[in-house]
Amino acid sequence: MAVIFRTLLLLLTLSGSFVGIYTLGVGINYGQIADNLPPASHVSVLLKSLNISRVKLYDADPRVLSSFANSNVEFIIGLGNEYLQRVQDPQEAQIWIQQKVQPYLMQTRITCITVGNEILGGQDTTLAPYLYPAMKTIYEALVNLGLNKQVYVTTAHSLQILATSFPPSQGSFREDLVQYMQPILAFHAQTGSPFLINVYPYFAYKNDPNNVPLEYVLFEPNPGAIDPNTNLKYDNMLYAQIDAVYSAIKALNYANIQVQISETGWPSKGDEDEFGATVQNAGIYHKNLIRRMQQREGTPGNPSQPIDIYVFALFNENMKPGPTSERNYGLYYPNGTPVYNLGVQGYLPRMHYSASWKNASSIFNLLFLLIGFLILA
């Protein structure tokens, strides 16, 4: 029987398409601001075991991209804030694509480039004028190289871009940022790329725990909140924040731009004044979030558009500056131990019946024949 078992494992391993996993809206942010993380080759094994097939990086680390060669993982890679001014020059933008993207495309699935991270509303206000021109030159470089149908261009924003977030129907961008947001929205409308937003209900609870119900931010049963303009009920803060972004976009006369969540998460540890940063709350937030994503939910304001998320983050990152919480957003410790029990197997998205599953059925038929042959022998 040991021989049969080893043969079974071998055949399943060799069948690269043994099981097809439907992973709508489920991705992971793979940050690396740490000095104790496992090598990228080990991370690729971890993600494969978790059936995670979408990863977002904050750079274009060649070690990571090489380690995931010939895998089924789709990558969002990042052009860092430090490159924004340099790639104003179209030649520099094309060089960046040729060095950071093109060499890996044959074997690694790079589908998106985020140009900068949280530029608008961030601390360095000098970068704002460079954001849209950098997005434009990177996109044009992709066009010149014939890659614009394969790789799209966007940028990730924080909720600091909003002047109003509640009620969701009154969501609006800050007046001082509209001049930068207008060309970016026109870019999204022209190229079909999504609008990325980093959303953390945790911050709202941390800043006002006496008035923000914990159940409302954790997707737990609660009375909810009613938008008085639409009469729509929101049973969690994340969905309200997403709809506020949609409303802000519509207020600038854009209606067909998809909003995707490039980051959301909950810290498992914090300083004394970081209320709610506990292992228990982090586990509840992520379990409930994944359950909602498994149901392919939309928001009350956009029920037909399933929410697309990237959870932050894969690992705790011990070299991130700031309060303790910043170093404790990971689902895993660097040694591969889960920070809390997510019940991953129970919350994986549904299996997709496809050619890969038919292939698996053929393999099982072969295995049964093999087992029967060995028993008769």
- Residue matched to tokens 């439907």: 22
HSE at residue 294, side-chain half, CA atoms within 13 A, is 15
* Residue of 118, 140, 175, 215 marked active site: 118
Helix (H, G, I), strand (E, B) or coil at 159: helix
* Residue of 74, 263, 274, 326 marked active site: 263
Q: Which of 296, 293, 353, 362 is nearest to 20 (CA)?
A: 353
Q: Is 118 a catalytic residue?
A: yes
The alpha carbon torsion through 38, 42, 43, 44 (nearest 10 deg) reads 160
Residue 259 near residue 249 (C-beta atoms within 8 A): yes
Helix (H, G, I), strand (E, B) or coil at 9: helix
Give the CA distances from residue 25 to residues 28, 53, 199, 259, in Å, rounded to whole numbers and listed in that order. Answer: 10, 10, 15, 12
Sign of CA dihedral 346, 351, 356, 358: positive
- Written as six digits, the tokens of 310 are 């990237």
Q: Is 82 a catalytic residue?
A: no
> Annotated active-site positions, please?
118, 263
